[in-house]
Amino acid sequence: MLLRPLLGLAFGCIYLVATYALAIQQADHAPAFDSIREIDLRADVAVLTSDDMQGRRTDTEGNRRTTSFIAKRFEQLDLTPAANGSYSMSFELIVPRLESRENNTLITRTRTDVTIDSLVLGDDYFPQRFSPSASAEGGVVFAGFGITATSIDHDDYAESDATGKVVLLLTHEPGEYDPQSKFDGLAPTEHARLVRKAIEAERRGAVAVLFTSDTHNHNRSSSLNSAMDRAWPSVERRRPRYELGSWVAQLTIPAMQISTTVAEQLVADSGTSWSTLVAEAESEEFSPVELPVTVSATTDVSREQVTINNVVGLLRGTNSTAPDEWIIVSAHLDHEGIIGTQTYRGADDNASGVAGLLEVADAFVSAAREGQKSKRSILFAAWNAEELGLLGSWAYIENPLTPLEDTVAVINLDMIGRDEEIPPQGGPRFRGLPSQAADSNHNAVNILGYSHSTDLREAVERANLINLDVRFRYDDNPSNLLRRSDQWPFLTRGVPALFVHTGLHPDYHTDRDVAEKLNYGKMTRIVQLAYQLSWDLANAPNRPALD
């Protein structure tokens, strides 16, 4: 599971009102229910956490061995290769690099042709990591947060024309800490993601985009030097920082971050103050403001392209009336890899989920071989690059194998092997989670995503035939857990999705997360629950609705 919530990675969507509920399932075990066995889960976890897999870090040999192992298992199960005849669904990651510092320039000119030529890379501006190498010049228009969200009737551009303009935008989103916000009010939504704002600015005709800190909600923003060092580290880090290729490929205009000091200079001759403009951007009545200044921007950024693979296998359903309706059962395959001399084996995170995924697939195939095939098709998906920001599942969302409107539900398994343990005063990694001992969670599993679909919550309750302590919690929690695993991209696009998760613990994202510490008995029952739930959804006459 993703170690920490990333600013700008969170998301928003308005959901359809449920018009019907799933038909109640009979309390009978799905066929081949007993094929899910503890001994098989142990064996798969042992392989996934072995020295050969090297901690499964994305873009390493160990990660490639892991994808090959999962693909081989799918082949043995005779699943259909779902990605154009292959089990490997490739996507591109980009490693951007800042090229010549001298060629990354920002020059501003006032209406009276006074040039501010003392702007310094790092002190006053720097290129965004998703920016291409490009140059542009134009008049500046302040477009608030730069968000167009038709689903919640919000458009910062209003009726204005950004054609030929350099658009100045705030980071984050309106009402960020307002519980009544139509965005979220708890955490930034997907609308706050900067690359999406840049893509929208270009779609509106902008020739360049400048971002600056939302000082209305963040009056203690870090210095631009600190921000640049995070974006373009002066010392090479253990692993590269990746961008999703399908996002950055959509952007052809220069994108820069500028300091609030530069932003104040841009509005100096506009007849209003920067603080006034920023406050006005929070209002629903906001409309863009043209500024009496021209900007020339040049970015010099190279892009190294890396091909990564998700692993996908399909079991075709029998439903002739809806042959393209799919259920997705998923888990992420990557982890942290080798750090120094230590291998981070990620037994719980997420060898447990992948082992569960393989057992659910085996159960569906075993049932089909016995003549009991599900009505809807089942896609079994092992996502890659989850620890990098859910990039494998986001890549799928950008290029789905079947239209998302034909995806009935997603059941995502991530960290299903331990007993949740939150130490007192556990620090920021446990932020918002109540202190609790492992013993109190020995039979417990958390289900997240429940607040988005009453139908799915009720389906879980009906599928719990093995008396697990199923806990519906953490959807709206400062820990941001709901947004930190691969069901989240689907929820943002209106697909009902659940996150099956036994919770955090002190060994999370450490070299102590090893196979010997998993609660395999409970893990077996959780995988049986996931299978029963998936089977019920695959055979229900109706689809689960979003609330």
Q: Catalogue all structural domains in the chain, each as residue range(s) with its CATH number.
A: 33-94+308-539 (3.40.630.10), 100-299 (3.50.30.30)
Alpha-helix runs per DSSP H in 148-259: 194-203, 224-231, 245-248
Q: Are 46 and 69 in contact (CB under 8 A)?
A: no
What's the longest Cα–Cα distance across the chain? 81
Q: Please report, as a single letter, which amino acid is at residue 240.
A: P
Report which secondary-structure segment, H or E, holds 71: helix 61-76
Distance CA 269, CA 291 (A): 8
Residue 329: predicted pLDDT: 99
DSSP 18-55: P---PPPPPS-PPTTGGG--HHHHHHHHHHHTSGGGGG
Question: Tokens for 451?
Answer: 């607040």
Burial of 465 (0-12, 13-18, 19+ CB in 10 A): middle
pLDDT of residue 320: 65
Alpha-carbon gap, residue 92 to 349, rounded angstroms: 23
Sign for the CA dihedral angle at 365, 370, 372, 373 comes to positive
| pLDDT by position in tens, the chain (length 547) | 887 544 333 333 333 333 334 443 445 899 999 999 999 999 999 999 999 999 999 999 999 999 999 999 999 999 999 999 999 999 999 999 999 889 999 999 876 666 666 799 999 999 999 999 999 999 999 999 999 999 899 999 998 999 999 999 999 999 887 888 888 877 788 999 999 999 999 999 999 999 999 987 777 666 899 999 999 998 877 788 999 999 999 999 999 999 999 999 999 888 999 999 999 999 989 999 999 999 999 999 999 999 999 999 999 999 866 668 999 999 999 999 999 999 999 999 999 999 999 999 999 999 999 999 999 999 999 999 999 999 999 999 999 999 999 999 999 999 999 999 999 988 899 999 999 999 999 999 999 999 999 999 999 999 999 999 999 999 989 899 999 999 999 999 999 999 999 999 999 999 999 999 999 999 999 999 999 999 999 999 999 999 9
Distance of CA 13 to the CA centre of its chain: 14
Instruction: Please check whether residue 381 is in contact with residue 396, taking contact to mean a CB–CB distance below 8 angstroms.
Output: yes
Residue range 253-264, pLDDT digits in tens: 999 999 999 999
215/220 Cα distance (integer angstroms)? 8
Q: What is the pLDDT of residue 159?
A: 87
Tokens 């204005």 sit on residue: 160
Q: Residue 11: its pLDDT value, please?
A: 36
With beta carbons less than 8 A apart as the criterion, state whether 147 and 11 touch: no
The pLDDT value recorded for residue 22 is: 44
Q: Quick check: helix, strand or coil at residue 479?
A: coil
- pLDDT on residue 281: 96
pTM: 0.93
